[in-house]
Amino acid sequence: MLPQLHSRGWSMNDSQSRCGYVAIVGRPNVGKSTLLNYLLGQKISITSRKPQTTRHQVMGIFTEDGDQVIFVDTPGIHTSQPKAINRYMNKAASSALTDVDLVLFVVDRNRWGEEDDRVLQYLESTKVPVALVMNKVDLLPDADSLLPYAASIRERHAFDSILPVSALRRSNLDELMGYIRSKLPFAPHFFPEDQVTDRSQRFLAAELIREKIVRQLGDELPYTTAVEIESFRQESTVIHIDALIYVERTGQKRILIGEKGSRLRSIGTDARKDMEVAFGSKVMLKLWVKIKTGWSDDDRALRSLGFEDY
């Protein structure tokens, strides 16, 4: 359930302001988080080429010229739910459809499959406009193939609009943002103008560490790691962060640490650089690896690691 707009009295300026929630949904690995980051103009949601990188709902807040768009980035909805973590991610994605004003259904430029059908099933009962966002169109070998593909998808659902984009190349993003802003209801803003996400710096730090793990070890450790921030403290001009990385087996710990700690150092260096950009401060980052057997299929363990009940 998304938070409701605050109920303070309206002023004359409020009557001209617009604000609304926009859910970004789709199957895994269609570029939802990349799209959000480029629409916002800064990174708040981690990305990789591996499916299921996003595990949590993440809000991104765009405010400009009286309009405030509150994007809700979601995990990819997938058909297989073998573990508790998969069920949590599907719940996080489907709950984002509650109380929003617009849904962006992101699909790959010419690839439709069973998981896209599954997402469409979630959208059948929604009462708000659903726009089809066809991402990665820059990768099409033949641009003429886009129209028949779009026509075939339009037969599946009465989409409010169909918008081809390339998030990575920033193609047609201005047009997409213009469409989104045109759908906002008149309402007071829920968040301050300078706020860009609802997530804490601790959460973002943990996600940045996990992003580097997925990017560097996605083939060896695709979905078996979690990150917990044990300590996050500001001392003078430096942020000191201590983080635990959980794996499920001894062999995974060995892979993550690498020869003489080389892999763990590489992950820490890359994560620290991104943190310093995100937080605007020097960061001292310390990482440890701990075995936590079966954490990904344990509801209690997942809640302790920040997975919410939706």
Integer distance in angstroms from the first to the last C-alpha of the chain? 7
Contact criterion met (CB below 8 Å) for 98 and 2: yes
Residue 7 has pLDDT above 70, yes or no: no
pLDDT higher than 60, residue 93: no
CA distance 305 to 102: 30
Place of tokens 């480029």: 38
Element of type H or E holding 210 = helix 201-217
The tokens describing 281, both together, are 């401060």
Asked whether 110 and 151 are in contact (CB, 8 A), the reply is: no
175 token code pair = 């047009």
Percentage above 90 pLDDT, the chain: 48
68-94: average pLDDT: 68
Give the residue with greater pLDDT, 103 vs 126: 103
Residue pLDDT, tens place only, 110-168: 788 888 888 888 888 888 999 999 998 888 777 777 888 888 888 888 899 999 999 88
Among 103-107, 220-224, 277-281, where is mean pLDDT lowest? Answer: 220-224
- Which DSSP string do the residues of 144-157 spell out, in sequence order? GGHHHHHHHHHTTS
pLDDT at 140: 79
CATH number (3.30.300.20, 3.90.1150.10, 3.20.130.10, 3.40.50.2300) of 201-304 reads: 3.30.300.20
> What confidence score (pLDDT) does residue 1 get?
38
Q: What does pLDDT average to over the chain?
A: 84
Q: How many CA atoms lie within 13 A of 124 on its CB side?
A: 8
Query: What confidence score (pLDDT) does residue 106 get?
Result: 94
SS3 content of the chain, % helix, strand, coil (to 5): 35, 25, 40
Instruction: State residue 53's pLDDT score.
Output: 57
Our measurement of the distance from residue 299's CA atom to the centroid of its chain's CA atoms, rounded to an integer in Å, reads 22
Length of the chain: 310
Confidence category of residue 94, pLDDT binned at 50, 70, 90? low
What is the predicted pLDDT for the residue at 3? Answer: 38
Query: What's residue 78's pLDDT?
Result: 53
In terms of phi and psi (left: phi > 0; alpha: psi -120 to 50; beta: otherwise), the region of 154 is alpha
| Angle subtended by helix axes 262-279 and 250-257, to nearest 10 | 70
8 Å CB contact between 73 and 26? no
Residue 4's pLDDT is 36
CATH 3.30.300.20 domain span(s) along the chain: 201-304
Tell me the DSSP string of 268-281.
Answer: HHHHHHHHHHHHTS
| Per-residue pLDDT tens over the stretch 176-215 | 999 999 999 999 999 999 999 988 999 999 999 989 998 8
pLDDT surpasses 90 at 294: no
pLDDT the model gives residue 310: 43
Query: How would you class 83 by CB atoms within 10 Å of its CB: exposed for 0-12, middle for 13-18, buried for 19 or more?
Result: middle
Query: Cβ–Cβ contacts within 10 Å for residue 22, how many?
Result: 25
Is the pLDDT reported for residue 85 higher than 80?
no
pLDDT of residue 265: 97
Return residue ranges of the chain for CATH 3.40.50.300.
14-182
CATH fold of 14-182:
Rossmann fold (3.40.50)
pLDDT at site 137: 87
Banded pLDDT at 292 (limits 50, 70, 90): confident
The confidence band for 58, taking pLDDT boundaries of 50, 70 and 90, is confident
* CA angle, residues 180, 76, 48, in degrees to nearest 5: 95
Instruction: Check if the beta carbon of residue 80 is closer than 8 Å to that of residue 27.
Output: no
Least confident of 55-64, 93-102, 276-285: 93-102
State residue 243's pLDDT score: 97
Q: Strands 102-108 and 58-64: what pairing?
A: unpaired
Residue 178 contacts by C-beta under 8 Å, 6 or more apart in sequence? none
**Residue 84 host element (H or E):** helix 84-95
The larger pLDDT score, comparing residue 143 to residue 270, is at 270
